[in-house]
């Protein structure tokens, strides 16, 4: 049965689509406005860790993630050489955004949701029932993210993390025998098309062995994506709008937690929005409840990730990080749970 209060979602990424799908399955009228189209590639580690089973159940994600690649081990590289191997405290899932976003969009429409893709919303102010899930906020930042898929590329482990000069790059097994290559780099005056630009950044940051390895591999240039002006948050700032996913806060990608946080933010918003849609709560109170729970749930992990981030980017700190890793002195278990 339809409710009397519809929900409008600006942005059709993981947070917006999963929230819209869960609301539609509960009988709420939902429309989503998305500037892009489906399927499409995005700059993303395509690696889901720390996603509770309760979130998957609340959002109905299990069927959509059923064939995701399960990853259990990560190989760390420093100065171009394997530094140490680490078993993940809990298995992580990998699935390309090209596949996952399209599945969510299809499921949302099949559930009766209204999806307007390739449409930019002119709505910027708060309004009853309006939720912003518009992705990363543009900022003055020295960082750039690059992503590309490689076909049938052998990996040293399910995941690889390579530490370079003011950069790190993750390689993850995804579906169809592919590997997702995603890196965070300090911006430089480099040019090139698709894989050429990624290889140029790898060489510029001292990751020559990885660049040589990828230059000999089959790279899917159609999967290349780039995003500039990437900034990361230490906390969730107060806002007069209901914001979810990256529009709420962006965590450094080394945590592997960006996708999980998008889904968790949708789960956090679900119950308050259902109460609003059913006429049990006013919009200002609904928005405040969502913001309060987002801050409570993500405060510690955002602060912790911001404190640890420089150790993966600055070469002197990287060397200490690598030494401690080789000596098995890094408390990966506690760090993992602190960030998740």
Helix axes 14-25, 97-110, angle to 10 degrees: 30
- Ranges of the chain whose pLDDT falls below 70: 1-3, 329-340
Residue 202 to residues 29, 207, 314, Cα–Cα distance (Å): 47, 5, 15
Write down the pLDDT at residue 80.
82
Write down the pLDDT at residue 79.
78
Write down the pLDDT at residue 334.
62
Strands 81-94 and 69-78: antiparallel
Angle at 114 between CA 239 and CA 95, to 5 degrees: 75
Q: Name the phi and psi angles at 186, rounded to 5.
A: -75, 130
Question: pLDDT averaged over the chain?
Answer: 92
Write down the pLDDT at residue 335.
61
Q: Name the phi and psi angles at 41, rounded to 5.
A: -90, 150
The pair of three-digit structure tokens given for residue 81, joined into one six-digit string: 């050489």
* Cβ-proximal residues to 66 (8 Å cutoff; 6+ apart), any chain: none
pTM of the predicted structure, to 2 decimals: 0.93
Shortest CA distance to 61 belongs to which of 93, 104, 96?
104
Residue 203 to residues 4, 145, 165, 167, Cα–Cα distance (Å): 57, 15, 10, 11
Write down the pLDDT at residue 1.
45
Separation of alpha carbons 184 and 164, rounded Å? 10
Helix axes 208-215, 195-204, angle to 10 degrees: 160
Write down the pLDDT at residue 102.
97
The pair of three-digit structure tokens given for residue 131, joined into one six-digit string: 């939720």
DSSP 152-214: S---SSSEEEEEETTEEEEEEE-GGGEEEEEEEEE--S---STHHHHHHHHHHTT-HHHHHHH
Helices then strands, each counted (H, E), the chain: 10, 12
């Amino acid at each position: 049965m339809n409710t009397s209060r519809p929900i409008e979602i600006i942005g059709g990424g993981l947070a917006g689509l999963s929230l819209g799908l869960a609301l539609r399955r509960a009988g709420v009228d939902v429309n989503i406005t998305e500037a892009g189209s489906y399927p499409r590639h995005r700059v993303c580690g395509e690696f889901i860790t720390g996603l509770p089973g309760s979130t998957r159940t609340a959002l109905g994600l299990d069927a959509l993630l059923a064939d995701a690649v399960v990853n259990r081990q990560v190989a760390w590289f420093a100065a171009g050489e394997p530094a140490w191997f680490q078993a993940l405290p809990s298995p992580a899932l990998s699935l390309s955004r090209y596949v996952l976003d399209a599945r969510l969009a299809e499921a949302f429409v099949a559930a009766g949701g209204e999806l307007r893709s390739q449409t930019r919303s002119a709505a910027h102010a708060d309004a009853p029932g309006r939720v912003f899930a518009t992705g990363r906020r543009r900022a003055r930042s020295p960082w750039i993210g690059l992503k590309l898929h490689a076909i049938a590329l052998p990996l040293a482990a399910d995941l690889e993390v390579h530490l370079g000069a003011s950069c790190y790059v993750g390689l993850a097994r995804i579906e169809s025998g592919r590997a997702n290559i995603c890196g965070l780099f300090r911006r430089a005056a480099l040019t090139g098309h698709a894989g050429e630009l990624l290889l140029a950044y790898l060489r510029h940051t001292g990751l020559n062995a990885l660049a040589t390895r990828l230059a000999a591999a089959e790279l899917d240039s159609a999967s290349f994506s780039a995003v500039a002006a990437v900034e990361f948050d230490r906390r969730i700032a107060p806002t007069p709008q209901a914001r979810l996913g990256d529009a709420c806060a962006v965590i450094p990608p080394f945590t592997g937690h960006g996708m999980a946080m998008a889904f968790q933010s949708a789960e956090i918003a679900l119950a308050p929005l259902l109460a609003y849609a059913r006429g049990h709560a006013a919009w200002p109170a609904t928005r405040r409840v969502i913001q309060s729970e987002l801050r409570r749930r993500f405060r510690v992990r955002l602060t912790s990730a911001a404190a640890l981030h420089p150790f993966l980017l600055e070469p002197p700190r990287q060397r200490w990080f690598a030494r401690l890793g080789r000596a098995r002195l890094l408390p990966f278990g506690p760090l993992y749970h602190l960030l998740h």
